[in-house]
Structure 1
């Protein structure tokens, strides 16, 4: 058809003139697939379950590397790099990767996510997060989190397991109490009355239908087993705290028992990082929230920005000491 334009004509018009080349977008992956090892001084690593995003920068802060890695590729990737500064968010699996990369000779620093967020430019994605981490780790005013050892994380697992089993025990106790209340039988609350609750169910004179008694016996069996497991964990906590010098000093403080002492030992990697007890309290979120401006101090409730488990245990212990002191005075 006269005057029609074909796709071949369009391609001919878009082609470059003879002897010239079209400019190409610079690639972050160097030719030959080899890493620019001489240029990279800082790396931001965004950790994921399956894929990890890497952002590398040179001494001037310019991006020289950006790529995704699988978990099984990360160790070989960093082993091929010279020692450099590596930043990661202090999140799940960060302490494990911190130990792994530190063993390869890198300077690894874990950054709280709240310090990384201001450096995220525009939209949030893995690449932007890695770039923000790479930028934040070079800032002098950004605080870092000490890398926990494997033993500290193991103690944390024990403490979390104790919490889980204790919650499950309370759930079973409340379930049994609720079922007994349906038949007009009231039982006291709390794990300290667990033996009394078990005796009420086992007593054949208790007015409970046979079908309900069979179901309650299943709950009682689980309750007894959970009680043994919780007691076993608490005995191990007490034994380890007495053997640890810091744990023994913590046990000497009124209101602190083996559970609280174990939580502090597992949740605070380096107690020497706090200049005073006030700094430790601020780290736990036990200081007032501030909204001050124009020379006026506006203080609110506590910030609750730290470890909630340690904070809860310390507050519970302090209230127990206060009640004991008031009862002694009265």
Structure 2
């Protein structure tokens, strides 16, 4: 029996469902309140439920899978071309259903609750970093108005704040500035707590520990990559994983002529940034003398930032290979003299 495909447009209060009865070809549409959605899918025979990969989609995917349904998520940019009329819930649900029928359609991986919790910690930490940067920059600006220049860099700036000459600052500002400095300390403490939680998760996960052995892959990169990747076999190869992070060249072509540009920058910017920072630290730490022959040759031929992107791509492929094939990192593995 052919499975019924349901296109579901989810929202905060109302869900719109579009499907076609396989036996008759009859088009069905249904609008449900949030509280009635689970009851509806419990009554349906196991089918294929497709949604846009938007807010709360991961949660609903995990709710419907135990009911026997095959749940798939589509990136919204692949759904948009199939909205044939004015945008509304019914048109969106129909567009999702239509997009799901396309051969070769790519789907977003459904994450476990544990993986989403790890990624949530990363998001919270990223926000705290932004708050800390804003707080520090504001202090620089405010103190600069009274002739107090803080040195560049966060650590140097914090050290200068601790030794500030309060006589040069109006008394009216003392309490407020000390509150700002206290917030900086609190932000550091909150980030340290999150990093301890991530370190605990890393120690408990064998795959994460193996990935952390790769040069340039530390606590943040290892935990974020493993949580985001999920099942490595969702990607055809290491190159496909690197491409999902936007670390492969952007190309366009016509008439048989293909032009390659910079990296595509698709996918999760945060994950790509972690790999780029890791690659940059490896190059700066090793230098040309200690770098591998491949990296030395690349640095000799191409600009520094191109080499950073290439090494980040290689790190992504290595991460995929270790996870997909259950291997440990081996320096120089696969090098042919």
Question: What TM-score, normalized by structure 1, do the two folds share?
Answer: 0.82
Paired position in structure 2 for 1:119? 82
Paired position in structure 1 for 2:34? 71
Superposition deviation, residue 105 in structure 1: 1.5
- Runs of 5+ in structure 1 lacking a partner? 1-37
Change (3 A) 1:158 1:253: same
Residue 249 of structure 1 is aligned with which of 186, 206, 210?
210
Query: Quick check: 1:314 aligned with 2:275?
Result: yes
| Partner Cα distance (1:299, 1:39) in 2 | 43
Change (3 A) 1:256 1:53: same
The DSSP-based 3-state class of the residue aligned with 1:117 is helix
C-alpha distance after superposition, 1:273-293 (max 9, x if no partner): 223322111110111222201
Superposition deviation, residue 130 in structure 1: 0.7
The DSSP-based 3-state class of the residue aligned with 1:298 is strand
Paired position in structure 2 for 1:210? 171
Query: Quick check: 1:193 aligned with 2:156?
Result: yes
- Runs of 5+ in structure 2 lacking a partner? 292-337
Superposition deviation, residue 135 in structure 1: 2.1
Paired position in structure 2 for 1:109? 72
Aligned counterparts, 1:94-173, within 5 A: 94-173=57-136
Count the aligned residue pairs. Answer: 291
The DSSP-based 3-state class of the residue aligned with 2:257 is coil
Structure with greater proportional helix content: 2
Superposition deviation, residue 145 in structure 1: 1.6
| Partner Cα distance (1:98, 1:165) in 2 | 29
Paired position in structure 2 for 1:280? 241
Q: Answer whether contact 1:284 1:307 (CA < 8 A) is retained.
A: yes
Q: Answer whether contact 2:3 2:48 (CA < 8 A) is retained.
A: no
Q: Answer whether contact 1:40 1:64 (CA < 8 A) is retained.
A: no
Paired position in structure 2 for 1:19? none
| Partner Cα distance (1:275, 1:41) in 2 | 27
| Partner Cα distance (2:171, 2:198) in 1 | 41
| Partner Cα distance (2:140, 2:185) in 1 | 15
What RMSD, in angstroms, separates the aligned Cα atoms of the two structures? 2.2
Superposition deviation, residue 39 in structure 1: 9.7
Superposition deviation, residue 326 in structure 1: 2.4
